[in-house]
Structures are given as structure tokens and as C-alpha cells.
Amino acid sequence: MSEDGPPRLRKPGNNTKKKDSTSKLGKASADIKEKIGSLKLKNGENSFSGKVNSLQSKINNDDKQGNGGPTRLRVPHTESTDKLNSNNLKKIIPKILGKKSILGIIGIIILIILVVTTAMWVMGDHKTVTNQSNNATNQMNNLKNHFDNGNISFDYPEGWNITNVTDQASLIVTVTDDENNSFSVFREDLLTQNFTYRVASWRSNILAKGMIYYEGDLTIDNTTAYELEANYKPNDKVFTTRGIAFQKNNSAYFVIFVFDKPLLDYKNEMDTVINSFHVNG
């Protein structure tokens, strides 16, 4: 009974229902307390606090392994930097070294090609210089052993010397090997004189002091010439002689060889003169 007021009256029959509901509520409350108590008593992987603690310890471990920083995300299908720096680097280095080796070999080959090319160029240039020097020497020798006065030109044997004689109007030049072996070139204007008659007169002069043992013709400067071979004795000594006469530009030209030896000994020297003889104009 309450001290503040009179007691409350209740209706008949309500007491039974209240007890029933009270008893049911008390039973439900007891069940809830029992379940909560069982949750507090359970430990390990099945308890809620255990799971929270486990998750927290895992995070702490990850932080220690990650040097205290946040976990880095990576793009899918890519490898981490650690794997690239350690494992893949071992695979990449041999490939890089292999490429460098190939590049080195290629560089050596190119260097060898350059060296060989330079050597060949130097040798070729040396040969060119040598050939040019030889050509220049030959040209100098040809110029040295060549006569040209503007009217006639010819080559003469090496070592022979040119002697100009002015005491005879018809004599152009004399080329000597020594005092007993030489050849001379004469030129005479025919004017109205017949070339055949002039050759006949020349032939008569030789027969007066010698003997002709061969007569014939040959080609000189693209012209048919008269040729004779004879023994000639102007004084006490006998010489062999070979004379060639031809006509060009209304002039008669005479090329006369005189030797103290047989003509056959000077065949090459005579051929040098005859094959190169040319009348200008």
C-alpha cells in the first residue's frame, strides 16, 4: 500500500492475465540475459571481440611490414615494385647485357669495315699516284725522245742525241747514237721537178760510192715510200745504209740511216722512227 494515497482498486478477473503476461515477460528477459552471458563467456575466433582484436592485430602487423605507411594499391594484372626490383631484375639484366653484347659486336664489325675501306682507299690512292707518276715519267721520256719542229715530228731511240746542222739547206735534223751511227732527215721542195726523177738522181749518187742490194717500198705516215738498202763507202770505211724517200705536200722527204754495223742490229731503233714519223699539214 502506498503512503501517498489510498490503494487502487482493480477489476475482478484482471489479476490472472497480468500474471500471465508478467511471467512471459520475465521468461523472455531471462532468456536474453542468458544469451548475452553466453556471448561474454565465449572467446576465440567465434567471439565478436576476438574478431575485432584479430583484425586490429593484422592491421598493426601490416603497418609494421609497410614501414608505418598506408597500404599501396596496384593496378590489376601488374607486378609489385618489389618483385620487379628483385626477381625480374635478374631476368632483365642478362637481356640488357645480351643486347649490349650484340651492339658491341656490330660496332666491331663496322670498325673493321671502316679500317679495311680506309686501307683499300689508301692503297688505291697510292696506286693512282704511282700510275700518275709513271705516266708523267713516260710523258717526259716521250717528250725527251721526241722531235717536232712544226713541220715534221717523230720519236727517236732513248739515249740518242739531236744535232742541228745548218750548212746544208735541205737538212732538217740529224740524230746520233755515236759518231758512226746516226740518221738524218732531208726535205726538198719539188716545185716543177718530178719526184721520180729526184729519187733516180739520189739512187745514182749512192751507186757511185756503194752497192744497192735491196730495193722496195713501204708505208710511212700513211704514204707509200721508196726504200733501198746498200753498202756505202764514202772514204776508207764501209757503212751500211737504209734510205727512205716519199712525197708529201709537193715536197720530197728523205730519211737516211747510216751504221757501221749490220742493219739488223738497229731494226728496233729504225722502226721507232719510221712508225712515228709524221709530216704536219
Q: Express each pLDDT in 100-114 by its tens digit.
A: 567 777 778 888 888
Say how many C-beta atoms besides its own lie within 10 A of residue 67's C-beta.
Answer: 6
Buried b (16+ CB within 10 A) or exposed e, 248-268: beeebbbbbbbbeeeeeebee
- Residue ranges per structural domain of the chain: 153-279
Strands 152-155, 161-163: pairing is unpaired
**Which tens digit of pLDDT belongs to each residue from 194-210?**
999 999 999 999 999 99
* Average pLDDT value for the chain: 75
- At residue 18 the predicted structure's pLDDT band, cuts being 50, 70 and 90, is very low
Question: Among the listed ranges 72-81, 126-135, 163-172, 266-275, which one has the minimum average pLDDT value?
Answer: 72-81
Q: What is the pTM of this model?
A: 0.52
The percentage of residues in the chain with a pLDDT greater than 70, rounded to a whole number, is: 55
**CATH superfamily, with its number, for domain 153-279:** Mog1/PsbP, alpha/beta/alpha sandwich (3.40.1000.10)
**Left, alpha or beta for 217 (phi > 0: left; psi -120 to 50: alpha)?**
beta
Q: In the numeric block, which cell numbers belong to residue 140?
A: 717526259
| pLDDT exceeds 50 at position 2 | no
Alpha helices (H) in 1-45, listed in sequence order: 14-41
**Euclidean distance between CA atoms 261 and 237, whole angstroms:** 11
